[in-house]
Structure 1
Amino acid sequence: MPAKRGLITDTFKVVKKVRVADRKAKDPSPPRDDPEPALSERERDLQELKKFDLDCRFGPCTGISRLQRWERAAQHGLNPPQEIRDLLLRQDSDPDYTQCLWRDYPL
């Protein structure tokens, strides 16, 4: 007499699939009413400078100032954003503006 074989459902739990129509019927989560906090002009400027630092199209940024990097990129025809240069020339005494994002890390 051969051994009795059970059904696959005896070993594995039966899982019901959710129909596509049922998924669509559920209400999506409501949109967030909290707008992002307004950034100050300084915070927006520093965000733009960080984006410039992280953009590898303009070459490495460690060991030189942002303005030197901008000028080197312009000299090599890489078309860095003019707004960055204007921003750097306006705030030429603040190290948060003039030095790159990685200034606190040794080479």
Structure 2
Amino acid sequence: MAWFLLLCAGLAEIFFALSLKYNQSFTRLWPSLMTIVFGAASFYLLMLSIRTLPLGTAYAVWTGIGAVGVAVIGIVLFKESAEILRLCSIVLVVVGLVGLKLTHIE
């Protein structure tokens, strides 16, 4: 269950970061509310997951999910660079996340 909560926390982190793009320094109501809601949800779910997962593992996975998700969304939605070195770097982060999951013994 803790891993599922952590995955949800990471997904909320992606939406939190994405909403930052649209809230224009908290001058737009709905994107600003989304920023607050998703940010709070992300932290809350992370907090729940670290009740049973090691803090370092959970934090690394949480930030990794957010970083990879936002990087991929940036490439797809905002036409950010998709050069091979960038894509390989994203893959390396994913490999690290999988490694953290595989080495965790419950």
When the two structures are superposed, what TM-score results if normalisation uses the length of structure 2? 0.31
TM-score of the aligned structures, taking structure 1 as reference length: 0.30
Q: Between Structure 1 and Structure 2, whose CA radius of gyration is higher?
A: 1
1 or 2 for the larger relative contact order (CA 8 Å, sep ≥6)?
2
Structure having the larger proportion of residues in helix: 2
